A and B are shown apart, each in its own frame.
Chain A
Amino acid sequence: AQKVTQAQTEISVVEKEDVTLDCVYETRDTTYYLFWYKQPPSGELVFLIRRNSFDEQNEISGRYSWNFQKSTSSFNFTITASQVVDSAVYFCALSSGNTGKLIFGQGTTLQVKP
């Protein structure tokens, strides 16, 4: 069975703090893809990153970084020096089996206070 777990329901930080959003996944497939999306209050899901199961290299994009560890089935997302505009719901998602179906985690609501 495929499953994505985001154990943190809500996180609140003060601006400029670093924050890490956790994502743990389950799949029996050897080829799979992991995603992070951001959903601000406006509702649109904004794509942040896609990582395939054969590429464990960590990635940094500006204040965002991602840590993919197959040994622990985790794909964590860190925001450095958080800003109020980072306030949103963040979803981790898994896709495998060539169906195009995205399995979403329950989401983590991040509130960044000024």
Chain B
Amino acid sequence: DTEVTQTPKHLVMGMTNKKSLKCEQHMGHRAMYWYKQKAKKPPELMFVYSYEKLSINESVPSRFSPECPNSSLLNLHLHALQPEDSALYLCASSQDNREETQYFGPGTRLLVL
């Protein structure tokens, strides 16, 4: 089973709100990723967790805060977002972070008002 789940599917939030995106996988993968995708663009890598430790932060603003509570879960905490942060946020996982295939979840469509 190559399933990555993400909740919520859709999220609307104001610029002063705090919200969290959740991602879960039960494939025993040890690497998990957050991507941001704007319309008609490819996904852009935000964060990589490898064995529950943050291994890559692609200079993402601090209003995005990732968390990996255990090997199956990945959260993205959102605070004081801007309208330009509206996008599709995709989570992915892979066996480890060495060029293994990344399997993506369905994404969370975020709208910041």
Q: Which residue numbers of A lie inside 8 Å of B, CB to CB? A: 32-33, 35, 37, 42-47, 50, 52, 91, 95-96, 98-102, 104-107
Decide: B97 and A44 in contact? CB cutoff 8 A: no
Size of the B side of the interface (Cβ < 8 Å), in residues, is: 29
Indicate if B56 sits at the interface (CB-CB under 8 A).
Answer: yes
Least CB distance from B77 to A in Å reads 22
Q: Which residue numbers of B lie inside 8 Å of A, CB to CB? A: 2, 31, 33, 40-43, 45, 48, 50, 55-56, 88, 90, 92, 94, 96-107, 109
- Please name 10 pairs of A and B residues whose Cβ atoms are closer than 8 Å in the assembled complex, sorted by A: A44-B106, A45-B92, A47-B2, A47-B102, A95-B99, A98-B98, A99-B56, A100-B31, A102-B43, A106-B42
Counting chain B CB atoms within 10 Å of each CB, the highest count among A35, A47, A106 belongs to A47
Contact of A102 among B2, B102, B107 (CB under 8 A): B102
Contacts of B104 in A (CB 8 A): 37, 44-47
Contact of A43 among B92, B101, B109 (CB under 8 A): B109
Decide: B42 and A104 in contact? CB cutoff 8 A: yes
Closest 6 CB pairs of A and B: A100-B97, A104-B42, A45-B104, A44-B106, A43-B107, A33-B99
Contact of A45 among B43, B50, B96 (CB under 8 A): B43
Least CB distance from B9 to A in Å reads 9
Could you tell me the distance between the alpha carbons of A99 and B42 in the complex, rounded to whole angstroms? 19
Residue on B with the closest CB to A49?
A: B101
Could you tell me the distance between the alpha carbons of A37 and B42 in the complex, rounded to whole angstroms? 11
Could you tell me the distance between the alpha carbons of A52 and B40 in the complex, rounded to whole angstroms? 28
Contacts of B55 in A (CB 8 A): 100
Decide: B109 and A100 in contact? CB cutoff 8 A: no
Contacts of A32 in B (CB 8 A): 99
